Amino acid sequence: MKQEYQDLVLQACGASSLRVGAKIQTLWSGYGEIVRLHLEGCDRPSVVVKHVKFPEEAEHPGGWNTDRSHRRKVRSYQVETHWYQNYSTNQSCRIPACLAACSHGDEMLIVLEDLDVVGYDQRRTSVKDREIKACLSWLAHFHALFLGTAPEGLWPVGTYWHLETRPDELEAMDDANLKAAAGNIDRILNGCRFKTVVHGDAKLANFCFSQSGQDVAAVDFQYVGGGCGMKDVVYFLGSCMEERECEKRVPGLLDFYFTELKRSVKKDVDFVALEEEWREMFAFAWTDFHRFLLGWVPGHWKINRYSKQLTKEVLNKLRL
């Protein structure tokens, strides 16, 4: 790590020295890395640094290396930096504090609070009911907090699969009926009366858990932006449950989400109308992500019977 970046961290944290620790992960398509820095001489034992360095040649796992893809990723890191510097949440939807950020040429640096140090040191690859509900509660509080907020400096429409940013994947689709309906589904979702700020990539891997699994914080805000809260909910549920679990458990988990949302929204919100609209949008949001997967990775495990059934229901509604 360049000395100027080390100096930025030292100054931001009031530390006397630092040591570069383990690499936590490489960023998508080789766009840099996330590392832990160990500090001396201050009240923080460590921080987490997201160090973005745009590669000369990107390596996309699915082979989607285009100028459009590169521009989208560059914009996503600009959005994430703006998010951390200009937005804040509360303990009910915890995120890491941003301690410093800078950009220079083809590099960007975001210095974040180390969530491991403050009790969110668990990661999950599979979850029980308690952890699923902790994440849904986080999303409900997040959506309630930003209900009606204009996404200034963020993506106008959040999520990384938003149709307008994914024309290549749409073109690659084989499902002619869904392809033809994609624009209409997008318009219906964007036309919601009740809009909030969505996380935009609310998969299980982006949640950090406490030892008990009851408390949770979220990271990775590259695709945060405006939209219907159901987009986050469907993406999260699809990231941690297979088709049979979805068929059996989604109704009860949706009830839980809306119970948490009702507890969290301001009293002047017409919650009956909000819940009615968002429940109707659930299948549209699920179908919208299904549309993206069909063009991106047609053999993806998430393309299952449950997704196909919801898509069929949405297409039938649109024909009425």
d(CA 168, CA 146): 31
Which residues make Cβ contacts (< 8 Å) with residue 256, sequence separation at least 6? 133, 136, 137
* 10-residue averages of pLDDT along the chain (320 residues): 92 96 90 96 97 74 68 94 96 97 91 97 93 98 98 98 95 95 98 98 97 96 98 97 94 98 97 98 98 92 92 94
Which residue matches tokens 């034992």? 45
pLDDT value of residue 59? 55
pLDDT value of residue 224? 98
User: What's the topology of domain 123-318?
Assistant: Aminoglycoside 3'-phosphotransferase; Chain: A, domain 2 (3.90.1200)
- DSSP bridge partners of 218: 207
This prediction has a pTM of 0.95
d(CA 39, CA 17): 6
Query: Which CATH number fits the domain 3-117, given the four candidates 3.30.70.20, 3.30.200.20, 3.40.50.300, 3.40.50.1100?
Result: 3.30.200.20
pLDDT value of residue 221? 98
User: Counting every residue, how long is the chain?
Assistant: 320
Q: What is the radius of gyration, based on Cα positions, of the chain?
A: 20
Tokens of 237: 């549920």
Which long-range CB contacts under 8 A does 235-239 form with residues at least 24 apart? 235/159, 235/201, 235/202, 235/203, 235/289, 236/135, 236/136, 236/139, 236/202, 236/203, 236/204, 237/132, 238/286, 238/289, 238/302, 238/307, 239/202, 239/203, 239/204, 239/205
Give the other-Cβ count within 10 Å of 172's Cβ: 14
Give the other-Cβ count within 10 Å of 58's Cβ: 16
Contact by Cβ (8 Å): 105, 13: no
What are the sequence ranges of the domains in the chain?
Answer: 3-117, 123-318
Residue 104: in which H helix or E strand, if any?
strand 98-104
